[in-house]
Amino acid sequence: MRATVIHAPGDIRVEDAPEPKILKPTDAIIRTVATCVCGSDLWPYRGLEPVGDPHPMGHEYVGIVEEVGSEVSNVKPGQFVVGSFATSDNTCANCQKGWQSSCLNREFMGTCQAEYVRIPNAHGTLVATDEHPSDELVPSLLAVSDVMGTGWWAALAAEVKPGSTAVVVGDGAVGLCGVIAAKERGAERIIAMSRHESRQKLALEFGATDIVSERGEDGVARIKDLTKGIGADSVLECVGTAESMRQALHAARPGGNVGFVGIPHEVAVDGLELFFSQVGLRGGPAPVRRYMPELIDLVLSGHIDPGKVFDLTLPLEQVAEGYKAMDERRAIKALLTP
């Protein structure tokens, strides 16, 4: 089969690789219908995270089940499935509490930009749709696999409530899905922080009511202007840099909440400042599996359309161009078709 391998920063290739096999009775093999490049894939691509030995890439996927292990009974060959980037057995103590991304048997996906993928913990990870979705719905179902699930989690972690004001820091795919989530959860005012016209447009389409293009303390000052000087009820931090986290913490009002879902890179939180801010802080990898049934229904009913974040579609063979376009911010998110 063909599979994506990163060799070094900026060096992404599609190569021949052996087809994955069932290794454990809890595994499944899927044939990918669509996969994509994640903002977090850009960290090693940009050399901001060590690459190490050449290794496969990709953790977002939808596909058709090819084969299942003997202990997998909830999905069967031929079904269309969606799965999370973090696999989970869906039965352990953490899963039962709804924290599937901290499953005691968790394995992170990392081989999905390929024609076939082995899914560990398939029974607790994959959710099948009743029938094969139409082609138009595939991008939005793929978004559920990570970015929509993560945006949803950001809104929950930031405790977005009906009638509240939410700020979204970050105009990547997760931030844009965070706008959808804030709207679905009833936020009355949704302020998207974005400097890019195409992303501002999509944010407005997804339900943002205001756009703030300033960054850093200037951006915070604009948020204060828009919120009677006190800050927002909820802030969704969807980037993961020191600057974006500072911006998020400073944009929240006393008693407000920050949901941080961008993977932190050199982020340090000042304890004394956090103490006096009275801002609640919760984040981490999204327990996407918890939200998948609900989000899949919202997509299939046409209620949400997070697939619009994919503004570039390429054959898998051109995955390198997908990374490049996202790195250069020519594309929000690249969808790959094997």
Which residue, 35 or 87, has its beta carbon nearer to Zn ion? 87
**Residue 105 CB, nearest distance to Zn ion (Å)?**
6
With beta carbons less than 8 A apart as the criterion, state whether 238 and 269 touch: no
Instruction: For residue 25, give Cα distances in angstroms to 89, 161, 209, 321.
Output: 12, 42, 49, 37
Which residue, 69 or 133, has its beta carbon nearer to Zn ion? 69
With beta carbons less than 8 A apart as the criterion, state whether 279 and 254 touch: yes
| DSSP strand pairing (232-237 vs 252-260) | parallel
Which residue, 77 or 98, has its beta carbon nearer to Zn ion? 98
Q: Element (H or E) spanning 8, and its range?
A: strand 2-8
**Residue 120 CB, nearest distance to Zn ion (Å)?**
12
| DSSP strand pairing (210-212 vs 189-193) | parallel
**Residue 21 CB, nearest distance to Zn ion (Å)?**
24
Which residue, 88 or 234, has its beta carbon nearer to Zn ion? 88
Structure tokens, 34: 């669509």
**Residue 99 CB, nearest distance to Zn ion (Å)?**
8
Half-sphere exposure of 141 (CA within 13 A, CB side): 28
70, β-bridge pairs: none
Which residue, 92 or 288, has its beta carbon nearer to Zn ion? 92
Q: Element (H or E) spanning 296, and its range?
A: helix 288-300
Size of the site for Zn ion (CB under 5 A): 5
Which residue, 222 or 290, has its beta carbon nearer to Zn ion? 290
**Residue 112 CB, nearest distance to Zn ion (Å)?**
20
Report the C-alpha gap between 281 and 249 in whole angstroms.
8
Report the C-alpha gap between 141 and 196 in whole angstroms.
25
**Residue 142 CB, nearest distance to Zn ion (Å)?**
24
**Residue 124 CB, nearest distance to Zn ion (Å)?**
6
Which residue, 23 or 104, has its beta carbon nearer to Zn ion? 104
Report the C-alpha gap between 15 and 125 in whole angstroms.
27
Q: Using CB under 5 A, which residues numbered 263 to 302 contact Zn ion?
A: none
Using alpha carbons, select from 169, 284, 180 the residue that is nearest to residue 238.
169
Q: Element (H or E) spanning 299, and its range?
A: helix 288-300
Q: Using CB under 5 A, which residues numbered 56 to 115 contact Zn ion?
A: 88-89, 92, 95, 103
Residues that bind Zn ion (CB under 5 A): 88-89, 92, 95, 103
